[in-house]
Amino acid sequence: MRRPYPWEALYPPGIHWDTPIERGTLPELLDRAVVQFGTALAIEFRERSLSFQELGERVDRFAAGLLGLGLRPGDAVALYLPNTPWHPIAFFGVLRAGMRVVHLSPLDPPRALARKLADSGASTVVTTNVPRMMASALRLLRENAAVRLIVGEDAEWGPGEAEDMPAEPNVLPVSRLSGSPPPAWPSLAPDDIALLQYTGGTTGEPRAAMLTHGNLTAAVSIIDAWQPGERNLRPGDRVIGVLPLFHIYALTSVLLRPLHRGAEILLRQRFDPIATLHDIETKRATAFPGVPTMWIALASVPGLETRDLSSLRSTTSGGAPLPVEMSDRFHRLTGVRLGGGWGMTETSPVGAHLLSERPYRSGEIGVPLPGIVMQVVALDDPARELPCGEIGEIRIKGPNVTPGYWKRPDENARAFVDGFFLTGDVGSMDETGYFTLVDRKKDMIISGGFNVYPRIIEEAIYEHPDVAEAAVIGIPHAYRGQAAKAFVALRPGADELTLEGLRIFLVERLGRHEIPTELELRDSLPKTPVGKLSRHALAAEKDLSPWT
């Protein structure tokens, strides 16, 4: 495949594949925003606002405090935070101090958090004193998974559900961080690692994608190239921030791009459809990046067709496939057309985008964005590019693509071929350069925008003393898109196992998004000719596919 690439002919007028893509560092991105937008509002949370200038000052104080604790450039610091202004303050503060961010998910059970801390080398955890998170963070400290907690006081942002700050020597409130800014902040380069973002990679076992400063700033620049001029975010816009900032989709769409463009982030700790409609109608939000579950919930609000959504200029659905019928229904009710596309954690997470003037069809993901090349290669030979229309694995190359997985040389050797990253997604490209996904190479489930891996669930189920065999597959779910279903064969003489009993057993072992929503008991489970349990056979019985 050589330029001009076939998809370039589909680009809207004024958009060019070879538009220069800027690569810089994230502190530079923030510095430019502070200088350019100054006293304009950057974040609103619980009716409390931070200007760009105030955000920059708090970031500098946080960074100085980290260096004052004796942490050094190159160290890893974990963020274990819900949506709160402490996230952008800590995120940019860690980077300002020349360190790496490690994102921890509030959905993870304690042992998964401990594994990620050990793998990443992060011994300092930044959290906040909201009830469930404070308890989990303290457990990490007391079980020696972490050596220090830095706790952002929730009361800083108005009334909430904060717990008292524990009086322990290794628990330090942000208000007690102290340190003077150095004569010069540690130097950074675009190729330096900014973020260790845990994902399933191409094998289903969670591991950290190394995202550089250049990867993340390139992702922002790529969207600028795709949405030039009036189509892009602009100063004074308001972006609804209900996506969790620890997720790569939110990091780019809710935090980095709005700051870069001078828009205000309406940061919210949780999604509520009525509150979101209030932000649109009353606060005149102009952009709302969401996941399918959010659009499904909004489409189910009685009388939605009478609500005033006229302020919205940008509405996108990502994180998981959005059923075409749901996109069409939302458009019929509101007149608002949902945008979308495809990306991965490993691509920061931009990749392809649907064309708004083209009717959406099931599985379509659109055209590669400026600066990005995508190809379809043979499943049995990822170095062999396939002709248009043939189905194979999609591979991708661009300045937004991770250089690899943290401390996983064997995985990296398998994940990259000829400079392209192998996505694990199976699909095709038509003669015009439009891409369609048809399946996943692995058995990953996407539930509410989060990756769920059957093997991890199965291993947890096997810890139940009455379980002889277990297999997990993804099934359609009206709200989450997909959910996990467990098939279990019990040991002889075991008591009956109920779904509720299994869910109670798994609460301490899995994240809430991983716990099965259905359970089917069988005398035995299907196996392959070599004796392995066959998820494929179970899925075939139900005629299930991630894209139905």
pLDDT recorded at residue 326: 76
User: What CATH number is attached to the domain comprising 430?
Assistant: 2.30.38.10
Residues 65 and 182 both lie in one domain: yes
Which residue among 384, 407, 442 closes a domain?
442
Residues 397 and 469 both lie in one domain: no
Based on the structure, what is the number of domains in the chain? 3
Phi then psi for residue 169, to 5 deg, are -60, -30
Residues 436 and 519 both lie in one domain: no
Phi then psi for residue 347, to 5 deg, are -115, 15
Q: Is residue 499 assigned to a domain?
A: yes
Residues 438 and 467 both lie in one domain: no
pLDDT recorded at residue 265: 98
Give the Cα separation of 16 and 538 in Å (integer).
46
Give the Cα separation of 465 and 501 in Å (integer).
13
Q: Is residue 337 assigned to a domain?
A: no
Both tokens assigned to 210 = 């190394």
Give the Cα separation of 5 and 249 in Å (integer).
27
- Of 296, 342, 289, which Cα lies nearest the Cα of 312? 289
Residues 493 and 370 both lie in one domain: no
Residues 402 and 531 both lie in one domain: no
pLDDT recorded at residue 346: 97
Q: Is residue 310 assigned to a domain?
A: no
Give the Cα separation of 221 and 369 in Å (integer).
11
Q: Is residue 270 assigned to a domain?
A: no
Residues 410 and 499 both lie in one domain: no
User: What CATH number is attached to the domain comprising 182?
Assistant: 3.40.50.980
Question: What pTM does this model have?
Answer: 0.86
The residue range of the domain holding 500 is: 445-542
DSSP secondary structure string for all residues of 357-378:
TS---TTEEEEEPTT-EEEEEE
Residues 463 and 419 both lie in one domain: no
Q: Is residue 185 assigned to a domain?
A: yes
Residues 125 and 99 both lie in one domain: yes
Q: Is residue 422 assigned to a domain?
A: yes
Residues 56 and 191 both lie in one domain: yes
3-state secondary structure of 306: helix
What is the identity of the amino acid at 425? Answer: D
User: What CATH number is attached to the domain comprising 471?
Assistant: 3.30.300.30
Residues 438 and 472 both lie in one domain: no
Q: Is residue 262 assigned to a domain?
A: no
- Of 395, 363, 359, which Cα lies nearest the Cα of 376? 395
Beta-sheet pairing, 450-452 with 445-447: antiparallel
Both tokens assigned to 544 = 């299930």
Which residue among 151, 170, 197 closes a domain?
197
Count Cβ neighbours within 10 Å for each residue of 282-293 and write b for 16 or more, e otherwise. Answer: eeebbbbbbbbb
Q: Give whole-number Cα distances, 312 to 174, 337, 353, in Å.
A: 36, 10, 19
Which residue among 146, 165, 197 closes a domain?
197
Residues 449 and 519 both lie in one domain: yes
Taking the chain (548 residues) in consecutive chunks of 10 residues, what is each chunk's mean pLDDT? 94 96 98 98 97 98 97 98 97 98 91 94 97 92 96 93 87 93 96 93 72 98 91 94 94 98 97 96 96 86 94 88 78 90 95 91 91 96 96 96 97 96 94 87 81 83 90 90 94 92 94 94 77 78 49
Q: Is residue 246 assigned to a domain?
A: no
